[in-house]
Amino acid sequence: MERTRDELMHLLQARGECSVAELAVSVGVSEGSIRRHMDLMEADGLLSVRLERQPRGRPAARYSLSEAGEERGSAAHYSRLLDRISPALASLGEADVAGLDGRGVLDRLFTELGEARARDHAASVRAERLDERVRQVTAALRDEGILSDVSDEGDAFRLSNMACPYRSCAEDHHAPCDADRRTIEMLIGLPVVQLSTVAGGGDSCEYLVVKADEHMEHTDVAAPASQVC
């Protein structure tokens, strides 16, 4: 039962809103079994339910993770974040934080976290073609909870994620969202525009990467911050 619940949590975190039928197909069990799980998860406060009108018959229930559900599903992301905080703090010198207040130090810390995370994933992002590179970045950051999907919109790529990997932290301060955008930007090697965030009230976290007119010259993510676009 716990394994099925974990799989449902993962699917809802990756896809956002889903119906019982959609979840049953993905998990490979009956709709009745999914409904039992959903009833239990709703009773635990992990789900939000929206009724969708149908051409015929009763409205269909569509499920998404509640804020409590997102936090439960983000436990691994918080653990990974904590593992990175200590070395990031240790890397900050006196000159890096001189004259900064607490929020300024937090901004500087998350800047370092975003750049360190990009360096961690640099080896798995080697494509020269932009379309391939964007997909490699999406795949590399999927387990981090930062990206789940990418779509080609002709003159730009839209990258998205349906759930915030550390919502309560991001709601208190913009630095985690800025760090996520920074990580994506360093790995892709082109400017990344943050269109919306879950923490800011959006339905998803979305980023836009405008295609370059010429062949992309991607940024070396090991370069100092001053040398990165």
Q: What is the pLDDT of residues 173-200, one digit of tens each?
A: 889 999 999 999 999 999 999 999 988 8
What kind of architecture, by CATH, is found in domain 2-73? Orthogonal Bundle (1.10)
Sign of the Cα torsion 163, 164, 168, 170 reads negative
Q: Do domains 2-73 and 75-227 have the same CATH topology?
A: no
CA atoms within 13 A on the CB side of 19: 10
pLDDT score of 220:
46
pLDDT score of 26:
92
Residues in the chain predicted with pLDDT less than 70, given as ranges, are: 1, 213-229
pLDDT score of 213:
58
Q: Tokens representing 66?
A: 């509640």
- Residue 227: CB atoms within 10 A of its CB come to 9
Contacts of 103 (CB under 8 A, 6+ apart): 173
pLDDT score of 5:
86
Every domain of the chain and the residues it spans = 2-73, 75-227
Q: What is the pLDDT of residues 110-138, one digit of tens each?
A: 999 999 999 999 999 999 999 999 999 99
Residue 121 near residue 115, CB atoms below 8 Å: no
Domain 75-227 has CATH 3.30.1380: yes
